[in-house]
Amino acid sequence: MKPVCVLGNGQLGRMLRQAGEPLGIAVYPVGLDAEPEAVPYQKSIITAEIERWPETALTNELEHHANFINRDIFPLLADRLPQKQLLDELHLATAPWQPLTSAEQWPELFNQLGEFIIVKRRVGGYDGRGQWRIHPGDEQQLPAEIYGECIVEQGIPFSGEVSLVGARNRQGDCVFYPLTHNLHQDGILRMSVALPNPPEALQQLAEDMLSKILNKLNYIGVMAMECFIVGDKLLINELAPRVHNSGHWTQNGASISQFELHLRAILDLPMPKPNVCQSAVMVNLIGTEIDIKWLSLPLVHLHWYEKEVCPARKVGHLNLVHNNHQALQKSLSTLSPLLDEAYQYPIKWALEKLS
Ligand code: ATP
Ligand code: MG
What are the angstrom distances between the C-alpha of 119 and each of 130, 196, 312? 8, 35, 20
- Percent residues over pLDDT 90 in the chain: 96
Binding residues for ATP: 80, 120, 125-131, 153-156, 161, 184, 237-238
pLDDT at 84: 98
Which protein residues are within 6 Å of ligand 1, measured from CB?
95, 118, 120, 125-128, 153, 155-156, 161, 184, 187-189, 226, 237-238
pLDDT at 272: 98
What are the pLDDT digits (tens) for 84-113?
Answer: 999 999 999 999 999 999 999 999 999 999
- Percent residues over pLDDT 70 in the chain: 100
Question: Residue type for 13, please?
Answer: G
What are the pLDDT digits (tens) for 342-355?
Answer: 999 999 999 999 99
Question: Chain-wide mean pLDDT for the chain?
Answer: 97
Query: For the chain, which domains are there?
Result: 4-68 (3.40.50.20), 96-154 (3.30.1490.20), 160-354 (3.30.470.20)
Distance in Å, CA 324 to ligand 1 centroid: 31
Give the span between the Cα atoms of 230 and 93, in whole angstroms: 11
3-class SS of residue 227: strand
Least confident of 38-42, 220-224, 293-297: 38-42
pLDDT at 46: 97
What are the pLDDT digits (tens) for 121-166?
Answer: 999 888 778 999 999 999 999 999 999 999 999 999 999 999 999 9
Question: What DSSP assignment string belongs to 245-285?
Answer: GGGTTHHHHSSS-HHHHHHHHHTT---PPPP--SEEEEEEE
